[in-house]
Structures are given as C-alpha cells and as structure tokens.
Amino acid sequence: MKLITGLSLLTLSCTVLAQQNTDSSFNPASKRAIELTKKTILVDTHIDVPYRLEHKWEDVSQAAGGDFDYPRAVQGGLNAPFMSIYIPAGLEKTGGSYELANKLIDYVEAIVGRAPDKFAIADSVQDVKDHFAAGKMSLPMGMENGSPIEGKLENLKHFYQRGVRYITLAHSQSNHISDSSYDLRRQWQGLSPFGKELITAMNNIGMMIDVSHISDDAFYQVMALSKTPVIASHSSLRKYTPGFERNMDDNMLLALKKNGGVIQINFGSSFVIASAGAWGDQFKAKRKELAKQNGEESQMVKDFRKAYLAKNPYPFATIAQVLDHIDHVVKLIGIEHVGIGSDYDGVGDSLPIGLKDVASYPNLVQGLLDRGYSEADITKILSGNVLRVWQQVELYALTH
C-alpha cells in the first residue's frame, strides 16, 4: 500500500512494540502482521473524529491528539475509517440535530480539503478500492443517531447526497425512529411507525442500517423488515458482559447470520469485559453520592476521579479479550460476519492494553495470526465482510 511510503517496517515495529504496556499475553506485531495490514484494505466502521473536532479543532492530517490522526493511521494500516457523525441524544428534544449533522459533515470535507493528497471522501465500495489503489485514505461517513432525519424522508436523501452511508437508528435515548438499549422508557416497543417506514427507505436509497445502540425489540423488527444485510457498527458481545443490552447476545448473532449482516467489534473495555462496566457503574454511584453531600462544584467532586483511580485502578481489557469476542462470533455464525468498529475517539481512556490508538491494528492482526487465523480470514475481518455488506446494499438500491 502506498500510504506507508517513507515509513520503514522497523519504525512501525518500534511503534507497536512501544504500546505493549503490561499485558503479559500480548505479543507485539511481527513483520508479517505489519505487512498484512499494509497490503490489505482496513475498514474501521466507527471513529468519532468529527465530534472531537467540534470540541477542539485540530489538523488531523498531521500528528495530533486523540486516538486518530493521519500519521498514526498510516502506521496502523488504516485506510478506510468511517467518520462518525455523532449527534447527542438530547438534541432530539431541544432541536439542532440537523444543523449539527451538517456541521460535522463539513468538518470531514474540511479534512479532505486541507489534505487532498492524503484523504478522499468515499461514497461507495468502489471509491474505497480506488482510493486504496491510489494511496489515499478513504473517509466514508456514518451517522450515529438518526435524530437529524427529523421525521422527513427528504432529509434521508439529503444526508445520503452528503456522503452518509449508514445510520445508527438511535443513541442513548429513544428518538422518533427507535427505542434505545440504554433507555428504560420503551416508547415504541421497538421501532416507531416512522422508523419502520425509514427501514424501507434506507434499503431503497442504498443506506446501510446500523443496529448498534437500539433495543432488542427494535433489532428484531429491523431483522424482519430489512431487505438488505445490516451492520452493528460498534458493538461487542453480551456473552462476556451479561446484562449489558448495548452488546449483542447469541440469539441476535444467529439472526444477524440469517440476515447476512456483520458485527463490528467495539474495543472499549466496558464493551469487552464485565469488570470494566462494573467499575464504571460503581464510580458513577460514588461520585453521585459525593456530589449530593458536597455539591457538584466542590473541590472534592472535582478531584474525585483522580483519587478514586488511585485506590481503584481501572480494569483495562486486553487484546486477548477482544480476540475472544471475534472468536465467539466466528465459532457461532462464521468468519463472514465479524469486523472492526473500534469506537476510537468515542470511549475516552478506556481502550485496551495494546489497542490504544489507530497505530495499534497490527497488534490485533498479530493476535489473530497467533490464534491460527489465515491471511484470507483476517482480510475478511479487516474489510472483506463489511465491504460485502455495503456492496449488497448498493446493489439492492440499484435494482429497486
């Protein structure tokens, strides 16, 4: 791949070796793993750069903060990161979703405009392949939270024309489309009447349906209605996080197989291991109690996180535990139904040891090699499966 031009394998090896940290089960990437990421299209379906730039603008075509920038993405072999057009759930009630979505899309276009030799907007599978051949990084887009549709099918057309190629139907609260897995108030008992209409419209226009974040009832209604395969753009498995509805259980995976879809594994530690989620729940409860006693603006509350971490270290997941999620999907429903949706820049500092940023993908590839995955199967995980789904969605729209 031309994106690596000028960066030696030795430099890359040193980069991923430095991320080893303290995971004794973690083997740093070998020359073979690094070369495999170089020669393979690598699609990550969920990276939260646009909303990160809403808070603090940076030129991500150069070395920058956060989990993503161009130099580290090149080091990691990433060449098709879906830019997440993330819309906070609260805007459903207050308004402003449509405007924010357009603003974040403007940011993605600005990234390309600033460095057209490095980036290009990808509207199709063929675009991704053409950009890869030309040594450019594709920036396809996915909308996280369908709130900007605002109940208007003309808005679906608008965002499709602006380059959005999947929509996560809801986020942390129910909206006018779907119930959320995080929201105990099941307003619609699944999808709203408009949500059901939207599924058909998304199929017909060529927009991938993202079932991450939605309630179980909504998921099964999507399965019944969609004429195309779907994606879970950044979800992991409930098998390893019992009771966490945001992840998918085995019955959902079996339904996903029947649909022909793909689950893109989330790297966030709380998505990977139950202890990380439990740590977060306990932290929030203790902080809430302290704020109630002393006031939200008290110094004790402001210093609480640092003090709590000193006594209760965060239980970071390991690469091995991320690989367990991939293994389980493969064993239950097959190699054709799993990929990567890291949630980089979207899960704070909770990322696993060895997977701290977009330079880290060779470490994951090394783990797959160590577990006996063939290069052909690794290629399916890195991009083949989700590109197959995307292409099927495109083909359906062309014929309907």
* Cβ atoms within 10 Å, residue 49: 28
309 and 359: one domain?
no
Give the relative orientation of helices 193-205 and 216-225 as an angle to the nearest 10 degrees: 50
Domain boundary among 314, 330, 346: 314
Instruction: Give the pLDDT confidence score for residue 24 in this predicted structure.
Output: 54
Domain co-membership, 305 together with 336: no
Give residue 108's identity as a one-letter amino acid code: V
The residues near 140 (Cβ < 8 Å, ≥ 6 apart) are: 80, 82, 83, 121, 122, 123, 127, 128, 163, 165
Among the candidates 292, 314, 336, a domain finishes at 314
* Residues 142 and 288 occupy one common structural domain: no
Looking at residue 25, its pLDDT comes to: 60
> Which residues are CB-neighbours of 286 under 8 A, at least 6 positions away?
304, 308
- Tell me if 247 sits within 8 A of 271, measured CB to CB: yes
Say yes or no: 220 and 80 in one domain.
yes
pLDDT attached to residue 13: 33
Shared domain check, 345 and 220: yes
Residue 279 shares a structural domain with residue 261: no
3-class DSSP string for the chain: CHHHCCCCHHHHHHHHHHCCCCCCCCCCCCHHHHHHHHHCCCEEEEECHHHHHHHCCCCCCCCCCCCCCHHHHHHHCCCEEEEEEECCCCHHHHCCHHHHHHHHHHHHHHHHHHCCCCEEECCCHHHHHHHHHHCCEEECEEEECCHHHCCCHHHHHHHHHCCEEEEECCCCCCCCCECECCCCCCCCCCECHHHHHHHHHHHHHCCEEECCCECHHHHHHHHHHCCCCCEECCCCEHHHCCCCCCCECHHHHHHHHHHCCEEEECCCHHHHCHHHHHHHHHHHHHHHHHHHHHCCCCHHHHCHHHHHHHHCCCCCCEHHHHHHHHHHHHHHHCHHHEEECCCECCCCCCCCECCCCCCCHHHHHHHHHHCCCCHHHHHHHHHHHHHHHHHHHHHHHHCC
pTM for this predicted structure:
0.92
Residue 135 exposed, middle or buried by CB count within 10 Å (0-12, 13-18, 19+) = middle
Write the CA distances from 295 to 69, 284, 382, integer angstroms.
Answer: 38, 15, 47
- Residues 383, 283 share a domain: no
How far apart are alpha carbons 100 and 81 in whole angstroms?
A: 20
Residue 92, token pair as written in the block = 């459903």
Distance, CA of 123 to CA of 162 (rounded, Å): 9
> Are residue 127 and residue 168 in the same domain, yes or no?
yes
At residue 301, the pLDDT reads 87
Average pLDDT by consecutive 10-residue portion of the chain (400 residues)?
29 35 69 96 98 96 97 98 98 97 98 98 98 98 98 98 98 98 96 98 98 98 98 98 98 98 98 96 94 90 92 97 98 98 97 98 98 98 98 97
Judgement on whether residues 245 and 255 belong to the same structural domain of the protein: yes
Identify any residues that bridge with 80 across adjacent strands, giving them in sequence order. Answer: 43
- Which of residues 314, 342, 376 is at a domain's end? 314
Sign of the CA dihedral running 218, 220, 224, 230:
positive
Give Cα 148 distance to the centre of its chain.
19
Query: In the block, which residue shows the tokens 């199967």?
Result: 377
Long-range CB contact pairs, 100-103, < 8 A, 24+: 100/54, 100/148, 101/143, 101/148, 101/159, 102/148, 102/162, 103/54
CA distance 174 to 11: 46
222 and 293 housed in the same domain = no
Q: Which domain holds residue 33?
A: 2-270+316-398
Q: How many domains does the chain have?
A: 2
- In this structure, the answer to whether residues 35 and 155 fall within a common structural domain is yes
Q: What is the CATH number of the domain that holds 191?
A: 3.20.20.140
**Domain match, 206 and 297 both:** no
